C-alpha cells in the first residue's frame, strides 16, 4: 500500500520536514521539496488483510535535531484496509495549538462531551474522498455531518446531510465514493441532532471547495486538518471545590475518603455541575501529628495519603468483636464537627495492619497487584522503603538516619526482596498504595460515566524531607526555601519551607521529573490546577535561616549592579537592597521596602527615584526573561498529557504571565476579591476572560459569608459599587444576597465557575452552617494551620436536599 504524504509548510533555510508514525515503516521519514514550501514523500507500507490503524505527526528538523513539532494533542489517524494495491494521497496542513485547545482535553473528550459508544471507522471505496475535520464540542446525542452540492451530499438539504464517523473523536471522518461525485465539490459541515434527526446549525464559513483531484482507480484522497466552528453560544460549565478530607458520608471514618468521592460526584451530576475539584491527596505523613494535615507538604509526588483509603472496600475483619469496636469508633470520630487528624490516622492504621495480616498475602500475589507493582515500581519501592525507615528511625529527615542517608537503588532493591527480614513492614505500603490506586481509579471512572470531570491539584513544591529529596537531590536547591512575597494573604509573605528547583539540571533531561509527575496525575484526573503557576516563571526564594517571606528574592532573576542602581539616583541603602543569593555583588530591591525606616528617611526626590526603580525591577525588567523561562518548561509539561490545564495565577503577576498562559491555552483563575487590575477594588465576572475559572473564594480565603462580616466598610463598598444596591449593607450575608453573588458569577464570561461547597450552601438558609466563621479551610498567614474542616451535612443528606439541588440546577441552567 502506498501512502503519499503532502504537507504545505514554509521552512527556513537548512530546515527539513520529517514525519514519525506508529507503523514500523513510518519510524523516521524525510519529506522532499523543490521550493521549501510544498513537501511530499511516498512510502510503501505493509498492511495486514484485517486492516490497520496508524498515527503520525510532522516535525521540523535542522542538522538532524528537532526544532519544532506540531501540536500532538490529537495525532492524525488513518484507518487502512488490507488492500496492497490501494494508495492514499494525504493532503495535510501543519497543526499549531488550536485556539480552542481546551475542548480537545480529556476533560471534554472523556467526560463532559464523551462519546462512549463510538461509530465504526469509515468504510473504504476503490476510489474515495476522505474528509476529516475537528469538532470537539459535540455531545453524544449529536454528530458532525456534511452537506453539499450533489446527491451524495444531500444536495444542500440539511435533512439529508451525511453523518460522519466519531471513531476518532473529536476528529470526525467520512469517506465518500468518489466515482459518484461530480467535480468540483462544494460542501459545508452541519451540527446534526441524531436523536431528533435534524440539523441544529450550519458552520459559519463560506462553502468549502474541492477541484477535481484526478483520482485513479484504487486511490483515495484524504483532506484533513479542517477545524469546524458553529455560531452557537460559548460553552460554559460549573463545578464544586472541596478537599477529600472534608467530605462526610454516613460510612466515613472521621475523614472523607476515595469512596466518598463517588457521592460528591453524584451530587455534582444531580445538580448539573460538570467539575469536582479537590486539593492534593498525596501522602504527607512525617510526624504522625496534626501538623501533617497540610496537604501541600507531601513526602511523595506519587503516593496517596493512607487516610484516604475507604476501609469498607478492604474487607471486614474476621474478628467480629474487633469489627464492632471499629464501627463504634468510626461513628464516634465521624460525629465530630471537624477532623481529628491524629485519632483518625491512628484508628485507620490499626485497621489497615489487621486487614493486611488477614488479606495481605493473597493481595500481593494477585495478577492485578503484580501489574500495578510493575507499572509503578520506580516510585513505589523508594516510597515504601522511605516510609519504613521513617517509622523505624522516628523521623522523616533522612539526613539523621543512622543508615541509608544516601539513596542507593541496589540497597533499596535488597530491602524490598520478598525474602528480606524488612519485607513485611515495607510491603504493607505496597498493599495500601495498590488499594488507594484502585479506589481513586474507580472514582475517576465513575466521574466519567456521570459526565463530570475530576480536577486534581499539583503543588508547586515538595517537602525537603521527602522521597524525592532523598532519591533525587540533584533536582533541588536544598539551601533555599520557596514561598511568596507579601500579598493579600499574608503581609509578611509566606514561607512554605519547600526547596526550590534546580531548573538547569531538570532541563538537561527534558524535565523528565515533571513529565512523569503529570502523566501519573493523568491516570486519575481529567483536569488539574497548577498551584502557584508563577513558580514556573520565577519563584520567591528565601534563605534557609529565615522564617517569613520578607527576606526573599525572585529566582531566577536579573539582579542590579551598584552602577545600575546609581543610574536611578542616590537611593542605595543596605536596608533597601538585598545581595543576590548567588552573586553578592548584585542586588535586589527589598520587597515591601516602602514600609522600612530607611525608606522613610529618604527625601521626596529619592523616594520617587526608588519607587521608579522598584516598579521597573518587579514589573518590567524581567518580563522577557521570565517569559523565556516559562516557555522552556510549560509547553512540554502541559502537552505531556491530555488533561485540561488551569493555573493559579495570583500574587505579583508580571505582564508576561497572561501572555504565556494565553499562548498555551491555560485557564486563569479569577477571584472577585483579588482583581488582576490593581486600579480596581473588585473584579467583575462579566469582564473576566472566557478562558478562565472564576470563583468567589478558595481554600486559602474566608468564605463569602465569613468575608462579608470581616470588614464592614469594604462590604459596604461591595454592596453599593458591585452589587448596585443603595443603602446600608446587611450585617450578614443573607441567603438571598449569597444567591445574587452566585448568580452573577454563573452569568459571568468565565468558561468555568467552580465554587467552594460552602459558597454553594450559602444560598440555603436552612442547610448552611449556622457558624460562618467555622467554614474556613486554611489561613495562609499561619504556617502551622490545622487543616481539619469538614462539611456539616452528610453526603447522603445532601443528595436528598431537593429544594437546594433543584435551585442549583436551575441556576446553572
Q: What is the DSSP letter of 784?
A: T
* Pair 40, 6: CB distance under 8 Å: yes
Is residue 618 very low, low, confident or very high in pLDDT (cuts 50, 70, 90)?
very high
What is the separation of C-alpha 441 from the centre of its chain, rounded to a whole number of angstroms? Answer: 17
CA-CA distance, 469 to 502, in Å (whole number)? 12
pLDDT tens-digit series, residues 717-765: 999 999 999 999 999 999 999 999 999 999 999 999 999 999 999 999 9
* Pair 44, 50: CB distance under 8 Å: no
Angle between helices 341-364 and 320-334 (to 10 degrees): 140
Average pLDDT on 439-467 reads 97
The dihedral over CA atoms of 588, 594, 600, 605, expressed in degrees to the nearest 10, equals: 70
* Pair 134, 226: CB distance under 8 Å: yes
Is residue 464 very low, low, confident or very high in pLDDT (cuts 50, 70, 90)?
very high
CA-CA distance, 658 to 655, in Å (whole number)? 6
Position 26 scores a pLDDT of 96
CA-CA distance, 435 to 440, in Å (whole number)? 9
Q: Which helix (DSSP H) or strand (DSSP E) does residue 540 occupy?
A: strand 539-543
Of 573, 579, 655, 581, nearest to 610 by C-alpha is: 573
Is residue 693 very low, low, confident or very high in pLDDT (cuts 50, 70, 90)?
very high
Position 783 scores a pLDDT of 81
pLDDT tens-digit series, residues 365-414: 999 999 999 999 999 999 999 999 999 999 999 999 999 999 999 999 99
pTM: 0.95
pLDDT tens-digit series, residues 289-339: 999 999 999 999 999 999 999 999 999 999 999 999 999 999 999 999 999
DSSP string, 583-623: -TTSEEEPTTGGGSHHHHTS-HHHHHHHHHHHHHHHHTTTH
Average pLDDT on 425-445 reads 98
SS3 assignment for 200-256? EEECCCCCEEECCCCCCCCEEEEEEEEECCCCCCCCCEEEEECCHHHCCCCCCCCCC
Position 800 scores a pLDDT of 98
Position 83 scores a pLDDT of 83
- What rounded mean pLDDT belongs to the chain? 96
Position 187 scores a pLDDT of 97
Q: Nearest 5°: CA angle at 611, between 610 and 613?
A: 65
CA-CA distance, 254 to 247, in Å (whole number)? 9
Of 679, 556, 535, nearest to 624 by C-alpha is: 556
DSSP string, 122-149: PP--SSEEEEEEE-----TTEEEEEEES
Angle between helices 512-521 and 623-638 (to 10 degrees): 50
CB atoms under 10 Å from CB of 323, counted, come to 14
Average pLDDT on 778-798 reads 94
CA-CA distance, 195 to 198, in Å (whole number)? 8
Average pLDDT on 437-465 reads 97
Is residue 652 very low, low, confident or very high in pLDDT (cuts 50, 70, 90)?
confident
Q: How far is CA 201 from CA 143, 152, 163, 255, 813, in A?
A: 11, 20, 14, 48, 21
Average pLDDT on 778-806 reads 95
pLDDT tens-digit series, residues 666-684: 999 999 999 999 899 999 9
CB atoms under 10 Å from CB of 657, counted, come to 24
Is residue 103 very low, low, confident or very high in pLDDT (cuts 50, 70, 90)?
very high
Average pLDDT on 182-194 reads 96
CA-CA distance, 191 to 202, in Å (whole number)? 6
Q: Nearest 5°: CA angle at 265, between 260 and 268?
A: 135
The more confident residue out of 38 and 497 is: 38
Beta strands in 459-502 (DSSP E): 476-477, 480-484, 494-495, 500-501
CA-CA distance, 766 to 764, in Å (whole number)? 6
Position 804 scores a pLDDT of 98
All 3 cell numbers of residue 220? 483515495
Position 194 scores a pLDDT of 92
CA-CA distance, 360 to 353, in Å (whole number)? 9
Q: What is the DSSP letter of 109?
A: I
Position 489 scores a pLDDT of 67
Tell me how long the chain is: 813
All 3 cell numbers of residue 381? 519501592
Amino acid at each position: 500500500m502506498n501512502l503519499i504524504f503532502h504537507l504545505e509548510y514554509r521552512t527556513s533555510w537548512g530546515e527539513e520536514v520529517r514525519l514519525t508514525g506508529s507503523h514500523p515503516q513510518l519510524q523516521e521519514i524525510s519529506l522532499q521539496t523543490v521550493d521549501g514550501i510544498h513537501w511530499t514523500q511516498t512510502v510503501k507500507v505493509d498492511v495486514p488483510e484485517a486492516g490497520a490503524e496508524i498515527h503520525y505527526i510532522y516535525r521540523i528538523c535542522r542538522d538532524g535535531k528537532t526544532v519544532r513539532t506540531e501540536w500532538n494533542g490529537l495525532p492524525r489517524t488513518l484507518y487502512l484496509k488490507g488492500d496492497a494495491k490501494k494508495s492514499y494521497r494525504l493532503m495535510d496542513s501543519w497543526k499549531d495549538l488550536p485556539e480552542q485547545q481546551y475542548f480537545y482535553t480529556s476533560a471534554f473528550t472523556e467526560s463532559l462531551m464523551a462519546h462512549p459508544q463510538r461509530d465504526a471507522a469509515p468504510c473504504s471505496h476503490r476510489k474515495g474522498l476522505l474528509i476529516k475535520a475537528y469538532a470537539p464540542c459535540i455531545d453524544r446525542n449529536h454528530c458532525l455531518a456534511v452537506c453539499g452540492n450533489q446527491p451524495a451530499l444531500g444536495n444542500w438539504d440539511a435533512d439529508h446531510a451525511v453523518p460522519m464517523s466519531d471513531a476518532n473523536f473529536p476528529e470526525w471522518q467520512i469517506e465518500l465514493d468518489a466515482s459518484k461525485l461530480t467535480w468540483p465539490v462544494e460542501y459545508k459541515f452541519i451540527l446534526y441532532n441524531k436523536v431528533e434527526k435534524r440539523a441544529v446549525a450550519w458552520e459559519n464559513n463560506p462553502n468549502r471547495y474541492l477541484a477535481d483531484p484526478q483520482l485513479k482507480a484504487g486511490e483515495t484522497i484524504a483532506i484533513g486538518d479542517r477545524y469546524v466552528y458553529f455560531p452557537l453560544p460559548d460553552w460554559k460549565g460549573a463545578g464544586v471545590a472541596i478537599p477529600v478530607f472534608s467530605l462526610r458520608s454516613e460510612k466515613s471514618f472521621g475523614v472523607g475518603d476515595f469512596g466518598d468521592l463517588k457521592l460528591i460526584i453524584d451530587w455534582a451530576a444531580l445538580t448539573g455541575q460538570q467539575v469536582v475539584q479537590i486539593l492534593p491527596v498525596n501522602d504527607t505523613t512525617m510526624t504522625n501529628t496534626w501538623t501533617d494535615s497540610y496537604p501541600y507538604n507531601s513526602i511523595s509526588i506519587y503516593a496517596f495519603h493512607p487516610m484516604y483509603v475507604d476501609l469498607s472496600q478492604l474487607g471486614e475483619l474476621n474478628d467480629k468483636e474487633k469489627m464492632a469496636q471499629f464501627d463504634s469508633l468510626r461513628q464516634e470520630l465521624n460525629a465530630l464537627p471537624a477532623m481529628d487528624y491524629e485519632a483518625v490516622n491512628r484508628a485507620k492504621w490499626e485497621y489497615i495492619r489487621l486487614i493486611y495480616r488477614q488479606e495481605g498475602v493473597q493481595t500481593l500475589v494477585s495478577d492485578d497487584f503484580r501489574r500495578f507493582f510493575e507499572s509503578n515500581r520506580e516510585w513505589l519501592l523508594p516510597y515504601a522503603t522511605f516510609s519504613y525507615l521513617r517509622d523505624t528511625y522516628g523521623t522523616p529527615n533522612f539526613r539523621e538516619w543512622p543508615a541509608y542517608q544516601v539513596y542507593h537503588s541496589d540497597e533499596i532493591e535488597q530491602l524490598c526482596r520478598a525474602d528480606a527480614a524488612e519485607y513485611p513492614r515495607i510491603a504493607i505500603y505496597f498493599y495500601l498504595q495498590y488499594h488507594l490506586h484502585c479506589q481513586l481509579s474507580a472514582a475517576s471512572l465513575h466521574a466519567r460515566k456521570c459526565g463530570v470531570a475530576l480536577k486534581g491539584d499539583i503543588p508547586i513544591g515538595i517537602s525537603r524531607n521527602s522521597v524525592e529529596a532523598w532519591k533525587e537531590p540533584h533536582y533541588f536547591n536544598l539551601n533555599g526555601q520557596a514561598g511568596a512575597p507579601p500579598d493579600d494573604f499574608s503581609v509578611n509573605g509566606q514561607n512554605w519551607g519547600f526547596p526550590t528547583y534546580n531548573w538547569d539540571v531538570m532541563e538537561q533531561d527534558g524535565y523528565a521529573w515533571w513529565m512523569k509527575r503529570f502523566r501519573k496525575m493523568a491516570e486519575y484526573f481529567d483536569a488539574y490546577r497548577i498551584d502557584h503557576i508563577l513558580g514556573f516563571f520565577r519563584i520567591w526564594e528565601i534563605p534557609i535561616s529565615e522564617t517569613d517571606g520578607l527576606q526573599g528574592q525572585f529566582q531566577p532573576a536579573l539582579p542590579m549592579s551598584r552602577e545600575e542602581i546609581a543610574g536611578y539616583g542616590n537611593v542605595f541603602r543596605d536596608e533597601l537592597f538585598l545581595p543576590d543569593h548567588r552573586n553578592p555583588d548584585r542586588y535586589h530591591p527589598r520587597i515591601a521596602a516602602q514600609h522600612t525606616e530607611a525608606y522613610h528617611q529618604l527625601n521626596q526626590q529619592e523616594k520617587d527615584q526608588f519607587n521608579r526603580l522598584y516598579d521597573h525591577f518587579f514589573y518590567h525588567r524581567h518580563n522577557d526573561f521570565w517569559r523565556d523561562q516559562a516557555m522552556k518548561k510549560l509547553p512540554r509539561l502541559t502537552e505531556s498529557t491530555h488533561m485540561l490545564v488551569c493555573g493559579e495565577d495570583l500574587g505579583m503577576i508580571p505582564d508576561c504571565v497572561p501572555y504565556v498562559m494565553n499562548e498555551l491555552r491555560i485557564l486563569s483563575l479569577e477571584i472577585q476579591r483579588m482583581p488582576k487590575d490593581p486600579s480596581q477594588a473588585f473584579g467583575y465576572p462579566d469582564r473576566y476572560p472566557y478562558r478562565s475559572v472564576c470563583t468567589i473564594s478558595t481554600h486559602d480565603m474566608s468564605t463569602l459569608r465569613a468575608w462579608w462580616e470581616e470588614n464592614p466598610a469594604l462590604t459596604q463598598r461591595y454592596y453599593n459599587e458591585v452589587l448596585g444596591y443603595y443603602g446600608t449593607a446587611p450585617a450578614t450575608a443573607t441567603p438571598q444576597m449569597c444567591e445574587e453573588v452566585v448568580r452573577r458569577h454563573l452569568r459571568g464570561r468565565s468558561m468555568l465557575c467552580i465554587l467552594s461547597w460552602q459558597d454553594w450552601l450559602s444560598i440555603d438558609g436552612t442547610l448552611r452552617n449556622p457558624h460562618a466563621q467555622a467554614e474556613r479551610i486554611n489561613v495562609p498567614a499561619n504556617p502551622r494551620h490545622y487543616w481539619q474542616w469538614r462539611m456539616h451535612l452528610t453526603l447522603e443528606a445532601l443528595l436528598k436536599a431537593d429544594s437546594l439541588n433543584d435551585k442549583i440546577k436551575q441556576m446553572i441552567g
